[in-house]
Structure formats: C-alpha cells, structure tokens
Amino acid sequence: MITVVIHKAVESDFERMDFCVSERRKEKIDRLKRCDDKLLSLAAELCVSAAARLCGLGASPVNYGYYSSGAPYLLGTNKHISVSHSGKFAVCSVGDVVHGTDIETESSKNQARLAEFLGTAEGVDPVLDWCARESFVKMLTTGIEDIRKVRFDGCRCCFTETGRGAHIKSFDIEGGKLCVACPTDEDIELLYI
C-alpha cells in the first residue's frame, strides 16, 4: 500500500510554519522570492510531516535526508517517500516499496509544446504523459533529463533502451493529474489534509 498525502496550499498554512517546519526548510522557504513558491514549499513540508506521522514518527519537524539523486527519505524508518508540487497542490507519498509520485496542474504546462517535446502518442493527454513519466524517473532516481527516454502507454512506463518498467496509477485532481509509479501493482490510498 502506498499512501499519498495531498494538501491544497492556503495562506493560513504560514501560521503553522514555526512549529512543524525544520530549520533547513525554513531557510529554503526564506530564499524563495515569490509568495506562491514559499507557500508550495511549506505545503510540501506539511505533507512530509503527515506522511511521517503515518509511519509512526512523532513530532514535527520531520528529520529527513536526501539521496545523491536529490530524492528525499525519512530518517528513522525504512519507508520510501516521494514529494511533488504544482499549482496550489503539494503531495508526499509513503510506502514500503520504492515508488515515485508526481502532480501536475494542467495550467502549468503548454500542452501542445509538451506533447511535441515528449512525442506524446495520439489521443494521450500530454499532462498525464508528463506526470506518468516524471513519477517513473523519480522512482528510478535517474533525474528529469531521462524523461524523453521513457514511453507511457496509459498504464505502464518503460525505458525505451532497457525495457525496465513500472505500473502507473493515475488520478484526476482539481485541475490536473496525480501519478504514482511503482515496480509492483500496489494499492494507492489518497489522503487529503
């Protein structure tokens, strides 16, 4: 089972920052110039905190580190996490298996240019295509530069060169798409906070 914690960022989230955000995240938020970016970064941290509580890790702020690929992990647990944000939404997924999660709002992408860049198949939503591919490269921790080497058929992604693949579960969210990539066919639970 993979649980995806979803949060729609609101201005009042800033009131929670002092007691649930690590000093490292506060510094990152302070460096951001746009208020919307600060709010999304905070919302992502709120999702990570909620995911940590699901793993039995208590109080905020959460202790986590980063792999060399830049992917985050929770300290003190063997659970895997993946974090994403777009538009007004942030998500953090948590599970026992390696996975990748991405959320994309449709307004954040020029769909025609995106379809051309990716080589999206006829009849496939380019935002869904991007979201599925990004969740897949997050799962593999290879980096976004590999996104054009991935093919998406509607329910699976695979590397065109190696054939390595993953199951993709997709969900419609307000104004966009949410995708989870996993090497096994896992159940997905959505939890709105």
Q: What is the pLDDT of residue 167?
A: 94
Q: What is the pLDDT of residue 89?
A: 95
pLDDT below 50 — which residues of the chain?
A: none
- Residue ranges of domains in the chain: 2-192
Rounded Cα gap, residues 131 and 86, in angstroms: 11
Q: What is the pLDDT of residue 40?
A: 92
Q: What is the pLDDT of residue 189?
A: 93
Question: Using one digit for the tens of pLDDT, what is the confidence trace for 59-103?
Answer: 667 777 777 777 788 888 888 899 999 999 999 999 988 899 999
The answer to whether the beta carbons of residues 48 and 22 sit under 8 Å apart is: no
Q: What is the pLDDT of residue 94?
A: 92
What is each CA distance from 106 to 4, 5, 139, 164, in whole angstroms? 20, 20, 22, 28
| Topology (CATH) of 2-192 | Ribosomal Protein L22; Chain A (3.90.470)
